[in-house]
């Protein structure tokens, strides 16, 4: 299959990139209609590098793949998301995965995530944490040591390293989030209807649906989001992650373009 070309009147990749969390429909439609997709498969279990290479080859050269880090880094083995793990954890590994633990299993999960990010030339890797990952001293210590080590290993002469985005859930004080993001060079990933980012540009918004995944964004809500983005004057990403993500993202794109 050849690489799809954009229509002649398709605008270049904008300063604010809009897309969906996952391929909402056929891949070719995502490549045609959006400038970016956030890959979800890497969270449940990363694909083989050959699969990621095919995605990269099929997409337009300026198309962006951001991705979620593998759940073995962020989520404990008790998380229901592990039901979608294709290969069972080895015996005894359940106590050593998740919560950014300083373990060989967590680091191997990051190396596998990073390998896919390199193939896709991902500009951002998102670390989405469960609400159970609270701001305890142990969790803060694990997070700090993980990202300090990860940051040291990001140099790649063949491509610019990805930005690292952290999406904390639960009750994390803004002051602590800001301090950790500044210290570790992280983007504060947020749903702007839940909280606003405490870090400077670029922003990374994940739009989960107000009140739940089935929420369809109203015109008024999308206007609010457009005005928030414009007031910030910043570049960034808006990734829709609700049931109607594709039509909502298309409507928001049209709104940004003055439609």
Q: Which two tokens stand for residue 68?
A: 């979620």
Asked if residue 7 is part of any domain, the answer here is no
Asked if residue 84 is part of any domain, the answer here is yes
> Which pTM value belongs to this model?
0.92
Asked if residue 217 is part of any domain, the answer here is yes
CA distance 83 to 167: 22
Cβ atoms of 149 and 157 closer than 8 Å: no
Asked if residue 10 is part of any domain, the answer here is no
Q: What is the largest CA-CA distance in the chain?
A: 56
Give the DSSP letter of residue 207. E
pLDDT in tens, the chain (259 residues): 345 444 444 444 468 999 999 999 899 999 999 999 999 999 999 999 999 999 999 999 999 999 999 999 999 999 999 999 988 899 999 999 999 999 999 999 999 999 999 999 999 999 999 999 999 999 999 999 999 999 887 656 666 789 999 999 989 999 999 999 999 999 999 999 999 999 988 999 999 999 999 999 999 999 999 999 999 888 999 999 999 999 999 999 999 988 6
Instruction: Return the pLDDT at 160.
Output: 78
Q: What are the b/e assignments for 147-169, b being 16+ CB within 10 Å?
A: beebeeeeeeeeeebbbbbbbbe
| Strands ordered across the beta sheet of 64-68 | 186-188, 163-167, 124-128, 64-68, 36-39, 16-21, 236-240, 203-207
| CATH code, domain with 207 | 3.20.20.410
Question: Could you give the number of structural domains in the chain?
Answer: 1
- Residue 205 domain boundaries: 16-256
Q: Quick one: which of 52, 26, 57, 58 has its CA closest to 39?
A: 52
Asked if residue 41 is part of any domain, the answer here is yes
Instruction: Return the pLDDT at 4.
Output: 46
Which residue, chain included where needed, has tokens 């060079």? 185
Cβ atoms of 106 and 69 closer than 8 Å: no
Asked if residue 108 is part of any domain, the answer here is yes
Asked if residue 163 is part of any domain, the answer here is yes
Instruction: Return the pLDDT at 8.
Output: 43
Give the DSSP letter of residue 216. -
Asked if residue 136 is part of any domain, the answer here is yes
């Amino acid at each position: 299959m050849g690489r799809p070309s954009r229509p002649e009147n398709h605008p270049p990749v904008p300063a604010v990139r809009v897309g969906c969390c996952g391929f909402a429909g056929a891949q070719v439609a995502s490549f045609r209609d959006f400038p970016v997709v956030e890959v979800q498969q890497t969270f449940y279990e990363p694909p083989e590098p050959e699969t990621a290479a095919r995605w990269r080859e099929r997409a337009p050269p300026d198309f962006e793949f951001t991705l979620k880090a593998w759940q073995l880094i962020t989520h404990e083995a008790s998380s229901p998301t592990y039901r979608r793990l294709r290969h069972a954890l080895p015996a005894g590994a359940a106590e050593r995965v998740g919560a950014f633990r300083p373990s060989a299993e967590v680091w191997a999960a990051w190396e596998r995530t990073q390998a896919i990010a390199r193939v896709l030339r991902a500009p951002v890797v998102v670390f989405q944490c469960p609400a159970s990952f609270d701001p305890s001293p142990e969790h803060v210590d694990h997070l700090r040591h993980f990202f300090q080590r990860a940051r040291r290993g990001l140099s790649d002469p063949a491509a610019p390293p990805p930005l690292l985005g952290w999406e904390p859930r639960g009750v994390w004080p803004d002051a602590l989030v800001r301090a950790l993001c500044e210290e570790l060079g992280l983007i504060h990933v947020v749903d702007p209807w839940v909280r606003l980012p405490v870090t400077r540009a670029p922003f990374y918004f994940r739009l989960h649906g107000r009140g739940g995944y089935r929420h369809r964004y109203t015109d008024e809500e999308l206007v609010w989001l457009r005005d928030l983005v414009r007031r910030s004057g910043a570049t960034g990403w808006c990734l829709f992650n609700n049931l109607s993500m594709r039509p909502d993202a298309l409507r928001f794109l049209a709104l940004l373009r003055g439609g």
